[in-house]
Amino acid sequence: MAGFIFKRLLQAIFVVLAVTLIVAFAIRLSGDPAIMLMGGGNVTEKDLENIRQALGLNRPFLVQYLSFLEGILTGDFGKSFMGGTPVSMLIARALPATLLLAFASLITSIILSVPLGIYAAVNRGRWPDQLIRILSLVGLSFPNFWLAIMLVLLFSIVLGVLPPSGMEGPESFIMPALTMAVILTATNVRLVRTSMLETLSQQYIMVARSKGLRDRVVLYKHALRNSAIPLVTYIGLQFGGLIGGIVIVERVFNWPGMGTLAFDAISNRDYPVLQGTITVLALFIVLINLLVDIAYGLIDPRIRTE
């Protein structure tokens, strides 16, 4: 087990290095950030030199990269170009809003997809199964931001029952979380179904049935528990996609999270904030994947030797 954890940890570190290298490299693709920052206005070479100095851009790339890494380790992502607030402070304010939304969406999606998936599995091949299958395909066929706009149209403009944007009070969670949950559910329903079908064909289920246990007990006590493991893993793997989706949906709801922070940074050309936001989100995703992998390895010994 120690070897397995060590191997996964090495892989994670490797990925983290790759992410940070890509992020550090990205800013240099823009040509000279100093010129980008000044917007081509009335600037002298001396102004540009001062900016490069201030940003540390006149040092060799490797030195810059190492100091970027050092900054990540110490939680120092530099200061915002707008007003000089430390980037870490901005992130500390925005990250909880994004994570709260992520968990609200995940929980809603589990509540929706587990019963639906079981229902589809139990009715395999019959019309409820096919209907759920088609609905889940529909759920995967529109962009999340469009669903968000349609919910705003329905609940805020037509019915006037929910606030169209912002994060104030529990009711402001309903639309953003529902948006993400619908799309997550569309994938999870299929996963629950497949995994239930696999479990239901196992011998211990037949044994449970043959000793006369009621269907409901077999289903919920024996089958569901065993098919939950792949679901949990998959949810962990989905985390990256979930965060990516939330970043977009935040835009529609003016949700004060990482997405909004990143997009404000883009329109202000506030590169330290953009870099910091992307790096923190990517690290978070790598960490969650690592934890899920290790947890899975602990639960199911077959994974370790893979």
Q: Applying CB under 8 A, which residues contact other proteins?
A: 11-12, 14-15, 18-19, 22-23, 26-27, 29-30, 124-127, 130, 133-134, 137-138, 140-146, 149-150, 152-153, 157, 187, 194, 237, 240-241, 243-245, 247-248, 251-252, 262-263, 266, 271, 274-275, 278, 281-282, 285-286, 289
Query: Minimal distance in Å, beta carbon 301 to other proteins?
Result: 22
Per DSSP, the residues of 8-73 read: HHHHHHHHHHHHHHHHHHHHHHTS-HHHHHHTTSS--HHHHHHHHHHHTTTS-HHHHHHHHHHHHH
Q: How far is the CB of 30 from other proteins (least distance, A)?
A: 4
Residue 178: which of 158, 193, 156, 208 has the closest Cα? 156
The C-alpha torsion from 21 through 24 and 26 to 28, rounded to 10°, is: -130
Closer by beta carbon to other proteins, 173 or else 270: 270
Phi-psi sector, 42: left (phi>0), alpha (psi -120 to 50), beta: beta
> Can you give the C-alpha Rg of the chain in angstroms?
24
Q: How far apart are CA 294 and CA 288, in angstroms?
A: 10
Q: How near is the Cβ of 127 to other proteins at its closest, in Å?
A: 6
Q: Which of 83, 127 has the CB closer to other proteins?
A: 127
CB closer to other proteins out of 66 and 140: 140
Cα dist. 80→15, 65, 68, 77, 207 in Å?
Answer: 26, 18, 15, 9, 63
The answer to whether 153 touches 215, Cβ cutoff 8 Å, is: no
The separation between CA 185 and the C-alpha centre of its own chain, rounded to angstroms, equals: 15
User: Nearer to other proteins by C-beta: 185 or 289?
Assistant: 289
Shortest spacing between CB 207 and other proteins, in angstroms: 23
Tell me how far, at minimum, the Cβ of 286 lies from other proteins, in Å.
5
Q: How far from 133 is each of 118, 119, 129, 294, CA to CA, in Å?
A: 12, 11, 6, 32
d(CA 260, CA 254): 7
Give the shortest CB-112-to-other proteins separation in angstroms. 19
User: Minimum distance from CB of 165 to other proteins (Å)?
Assistant: 11
In the complex, what is the shortest distance from the CB of residue 191 to other proteins, in angstroms, rounded to a whole number?
Answer: 8
If the CB atoms of residues 125 and 212 are measured against other proteins, the closer one turns out to be 125
Query: Which residue's CB is nearer to other proteins, number 63 or number 137?
Result: 137
The alpha helices in 123-270, defined as continuous H runs, are 127-139, 144-151, 171-200, 203-210, 215-217, 224-253, 258-267
Comparing CB distances to other proteins, the nearer of 27 and 213 is 27
Closest to other proteins by CB, 16 vs 177, is 16
What does the alpha-carbon distance between residue 55 and residue 47 come to, in Å, rounded to a whole number? 12
